[in-house]
Amino acid sequence: MNRSPGIKRLWSISVATLHLMVGLPGSGKTTLARKLEAECSALRLTVDEWHVRLFGSDVHDDSDEADFSKHNARHAAIESLLWEAAARVLVLGVDVILDFGFWTRSERDELRAKAQDLGAGFKIHFADASEELLLERIKARNAQLPPGTFHIPEIKLKEWMRSFEPPSPDEFIA
């Protein structure tokens, strides 16, 4: 093959990015994740969609702590499996969006470190909403339960609001 002496072949190495969707139920995480999925040609992994497909809507207003414990164990197992898929996809050079909520800084720091270990970029997308708006959205969502969502008792949402740790400004620095 003849090549002109002044032409160099440039290889472009694309670094995949791990996108974390951070926020409480009803904050708009999944809506934002779907938009990002199209913009970035990324793989979106929304844990609630997988949970509902596998187990249905397994919590209700009258659910007790045993029901929530079973629900949470299922959720954790799905998150673990989705992370395994996400890690492989990131290594292949494709962006991944994890739509899990990531309510604590320690969760976000752990995923940042995992992304770094894989050589992937990392970005947080925070879907913030007021308590009033969250309660309004969850009430409307519970009335219709769109596909891929499950019922969230208002009392649980209020409990989760108290334990949620919004990301600090330094977490947005790549």
Residue 13 in any domain: the answer is no
Tell whether the model's pLDDT for residue 117 goes beyond 60.
yes
Tell whether the model's pLDDT for residue 9 goes beyond 50.
no
Residue 153 in any domain: the answer is yes
Residue 10 in any domain: the answer is no
**Res 60: pLDDT:** 87
Confidence grade of residue 4 (pLDDT, cut at 50, 70, 90): very low
Residue 97 in any domain: the answer is yes
Residue 3 in any domain: the answer is no
The model's pTM is 0.88
Domain that holds residue 33: 22-172
Tell whether the model's pLDDT for residue 13 goes beyond 60.
no
**How many structural domains comprise the chain?**
1
Task: Tell me the β-bridge partners of 99.
Answer: 46
Confidence grade of residue 130 (pLDDT, cut at 50, 70, 90): very high
Q: How confident is the model over 14-21, as a mean pLDDT?
A: 92
Q: How confident is the model over 146-170, as a mean pLDDT?
A: 94
Residue 1 in any domain: the answer is no
Domain with 70 in it: what CATH number?
A: 3.40.50.300
Residue 12 in any domain: the answer is no
Q: How confident is the model over 30-50, as a mean pLDDT?
A: 96
Q: How confident is the model over 91-103, as a mean pLDDT?
A: 97
Confidence grade of residue 7 (pLDDT, cut at 50, 70, 90): very low
Residue 11 in any domain: the answer is no
